[in-house]
Chains A and B, each alone.
Chain A
Amino acid sequence: MPTKTIIRKLSMRFMLHRNKTAGLNKRTAGFTLQRLLVVLAVSLALALIVFLLWKMLRNPLEAGLHVIRLEQIDSAAKADVELNQQILRARLVLDSGARELELARDRFDVAQSSLSSGKAGLSDLSRDIDQSLQIYRTQAGDKLTLLNDYSARLARLAQYFSVMRVAGISVLNVPAVNSSASLRKRIMMLLQEATAYSLQSSPENAFVMNQLTTEVGEAADQLDNDVARGALAHLLETVSLLRSSRDDLQKLIGQFDAIETGAALQNLQFAYENHFQGLQDTARRYRQTLAVYAVALLLAFGLIAVRLRSSFSALDNANNELQDTNSNLALIVNKRTQALSKALDDLKMQQGQLIQSEKMASLGQMVAGVAHEINTPLGYASSNVEIIRESLQGMGHEVDAESREEFDVLLADVEHGLNQISELVASLKDFSRVDRSQSQLFDLNTGIDTALKVCNSQLKDGVSIERHFAELPEINCAPSQLNQVFLNLINNAAQAMDGKGLIQITTRQVGGDVEVAIRDNGCGMNEGTRAHIFEPFFTTKAVGKGTGLGLSIVFRIIDDHGGTIQVESELGKGTEFVVRLPIKKAGKAADVSPANDVVLLGE
């Protein structure tokens, strides 16, 4: 049955193991998948963060370009304004040409061309910007074309002006004219007016000029000098040319006003700033996203850290528990081992005692049978010897004194022999103790005292006794048997010493036991002897001096009382016997009074 159970247990364990292995496999697969996912997630997160960072890092570059672009737009605007000023100023400078205007024109041209080209150019940034740029560039082109025209006309104006001046001076130098103060005055005024007109044309100016031209023309007609008239006509023609050139110029200036490069530039700037704003917004969005993402990532890492920590602490706990269990296990194993080894020792001891007891029991049964057979011849033999001795005493004179003495001696020897036999049988009977059991409450100290009294005669004068008696509870035992135990042990102790010595008898209570230690300082014994002392018929005494039964009887009696006897001995130093008896008879007491509480049969 236990084998079956064990097999069942084993198979169950095996199945359990198999299940575990399967679970492990499944778990391993899950683990790989999980791992893959984690790696994927981590790389994704990293890619995202790199992307965002890249987007973020690109911004400072854009910002640098942005500044340059803005500067470029600004310089273009400045160039435009300067050009406009130079255009307006140019018509006032009739004699010194248009050098300033040329310079402004060049600057404008450079600024407008640099806007659309180069790394910091504005082209290809966005559709709006491209559109605005295109418009600007068209207008700038228009403006430049117009400016060329303007410059040419301005040069002609200057030319006409100088021609007019020369003509005026020559006219004035004409004596006919020179002589006429009014004419002269009118010519002077005309020249003045024409100069003013070329600089700043106005309707009053034009009216005055018309009047003066008419007056000069009328005056010329009155002149008779051809030269003078020709000169005057030339002057008037020149003034007229100047005036028309001036009007053309004025028209061109009006055209300049129609070309709104400034507005286009503003539009461009606006578009660019819009574009840049958009870029910045995007960048900000990215930044925000990055921040949010970073926070989320941080949180995720925090969470992972927390989880890691908790799993680590769980691991720690598990580890601790495992260690605890380990140490506990070691402790338990230790305890078990100790208990087992103790049990083994106990078992060995019990086995030894059992063997001893078995030996005694079988011997006892044999003795029980033999005793009767020996006692019968012993009975008549000893009786007969007594009778013969009595008869011999009654015979008196019939036997001579010598023979009688001899008979006495012989009979005494026979009696001695028979006594020895009967003592042996008596101790064998004691030893076998079949059908013997009795128990009563008894104080061992009293028993030891009795035993000491009995063997007092055998103790030689040199042997002293030391009693160390403790208060003992009365124990349940067979007093006569225990008396015999003490008698035997004390006799042994006395015989172990050579006439002189000390026997110490100590009694004490140890827990539920009573302990009697009998120690002598006699000859002691070696290990070989010690191992056999409780065996029946083992004796160290000379043949005829001891039966070899004493200690085996002692052992048997103590065993029957559920007690133990131990011996410690050192050769030449002495021997100590320690008898331990339970106060409450246990175990063997059960078969002593098996039916104490069952009084009646058939109830």
Chain B
Amino acid sequence: MDELTNVDVAEQKPRILFVDDEPRILVALKALFRKDYDVVTANSGAAALDILREGDVDVVVSDQRMPEMTGVEVLRSAKDIRPRAIRVLLTGYSDLSAILAAINDGEIFRFINKPWSNVDLRQTIAAAVKASAIEHVELVVEGDINEKVYIPGIDDVGTLILDDDEATRDTLQRVLGRERAVYSARNLNEGLEQLEKHKIGVIITDLVVGGDVVTDLLSALRQHHPSLVAIVLTGQSDAEQGIDLINRGQIYRFLTKPISEGLLRGSVNLAMRRYEILHKNPAQALRIAAEAAPPANDTRGVFKRIGRLFGLTA
């Protein structure tokens, strides 16, 4: 402990906690990052939580598959103990439920596959450290978030539903339309038109709309409109897409159909408050900065339009 304090005082290195049940991974990661960061390791979830309780940590990087406690559970607890800490999942293989939990419960920053590339991992950790430098604004929830809640000033902005299924659009409009303005779009073009026309804080979208995966759209929106909060509501489920949505889309929630009305309303209410925070504190958006990978092929000129849209409005 003393040693640690000395180092802190001396260099003020960002502190990174690596959690993995395989000690050799921890050795390798420590070897990789010890020069630049204050590296702390834990070989179980419980040990990691102990460390988190003892002192502040900037970034938590955890493996998913560990005995007794999974990585997502560790990160969820980390979010409660150290909300400011940026959470990253580093795993060899994970199923869809783990990915969904990582998004919805862990609100993780990145999802990294093993084996990793040292260069990429360094970049990701650097981005995470950078995000952690932004002071975290706590999202305060009063009352039951799943109930109908309308707060003037917060819920003034509209919600955009992007789905090619008419029944879904109608249902969402009916459920959400009682509390706030809801706009719906059948495809990306219509969605962009709605975004141009109205003030929209939350976008609820299917994973695939009109035959196009929305990841690229969300990624582009994240780049140009960081405060927009995205919820993916889909009947399809795809692990790769989920990972992509985390890393490039930084979506707020990944919901699967069918969904209970309470969960849906709660998720939207939370997203609205999230938008409010992001809107009022633009710097907060950096905490959820996505990978700025330019889209490989800009089909249908969607991204040019997004650029133009936010270039004009911003």
- List residues of A whose CB falls within 8 A of some B CB: 368-369, 371-384, 386-387, 418, 422, 429, 434-442, 474, 476, 592-603
Taking the closest CB of chain B, its distance from the CB of A405, in whole angstroms, is 23
A601 touches B258 (CB 8 A): yes
Task: Indicate if B207 sits at the interface (CB-CB under 8 A).
Answer: yes
B171 touches A435 (CB 8 A): no
Chain B residues with CB under 8 A of A377: 22, 24
A435 touches B239 (CB 8 A): yes
Known: A383-B32, A440-B208, A440-B211. A595 touches B114 (CB 8 A): no
Chain A residues with CB under 8 A of B151: none
Select from chain B the residue with minimum beta-carbon distance to A379: B114
From 88 to 134 in chain B, residues with beta carbon under 8 angstroms from any chain A beta carbon are 90-96, 99, 113-116, 118, 121
B212 touches A435 (CB 8 A): no
Task: Indicate if B240 sits at the interface (CB-CB under 8 A).
Answer: yes
Q: Say which residue of B29, B211, B238, B261 sits within 8 Å of A600 (CB atoms).
A: B261
Taking the closest CB of chain B, its distance from the CB of A427, in whole angstroms, is 14
Taking the closest CB of chain A, its distance from the CB of B247, in whole angstroms, is 16
Q: How far is the CA of A439 from the CA of B240 in the complex (A)?
A: 13
Chain A residues with CB under 8 A of B114: 375-376, 378-379
Chain A residues with CB under 8 A of B279: none
Given contacts A383-B121, A386-B118, 13 further A-B contacts (CB under 8 A): A372-B93, A373-B92, A381-B115, A429-B93, A439-B236, A441-B212, A476-B211, A593-B235, A595-B235, A596-B257, A599-B167, A599-B171, A600-B260
From 235 to 255 in chain B, residues with beta carbon under 8 angstroms from any chain A beta carbon are 235-241
A602 touches B118 (CB 8 A): no
Pick the 8 closest A-B CB pairs, nearest first: A441-B211, A375-B92, A372-B93, A435-B239, A379-B114, A380-B28, A435-B96, A372-B92
Q: How far is the CA of A594 from the CA of B235 in the complex (A)?
A: 7
Task: Indicate if B192 sits at the interface (CB-CB under 8 A).
Answer: no
Q: How far is the CA of A435 from the CA of B96 in the complex (A)?
A: 6
Q: How far is the CA of A186 from the CA of B63 in the complex (A)?
A: 207
A383 touches B238 (CB 8 A): no
B213 touches A379 (CB 8 A): no
Known: A374-B92, A435-B96, A439-B208. A601 touches B241 (CB 8 A): no
Task: Indicate if B177 sits at the interface (CB-CB under 8 A).
Answer: no
B118 touches A435 (CB 8 A): no
A375 touches B175 (CB 8 A): no
A436 touches B239 (CB 8 A): yes
B95 touches A435 (CB 8 A): yes
Q: How far is the CA of A593 from the CA of B32 in the complex (A)?
A: 42
Taking the closest CB of chain A, its distance from the CB of B295, in whole angstroms, is 14
Taking the closest CB of chain B, its distance from the CB of A364, in whole angstroms, is 12
B27 touches A368 (CB 8 A): no
Q: Say which residue of A438, A596, A600 sits within 8 Å of B259 (CB atoms).
A: A600
Q: How far is the CA of A372 from the CA of B90 in the complex (A)?
A: 11
Task: Indicate if B181 sits at the interface (CB-CB under 8 A).
Answer: no
B240 touches A380 (CB 8 A): no
Q: How far is the CA of A371 from the CA of B32 in the complex (A)?
A: 23
Interface string of B32-72 (1 = CB under 8 A from A): 10000000000000000000000000000001010000000
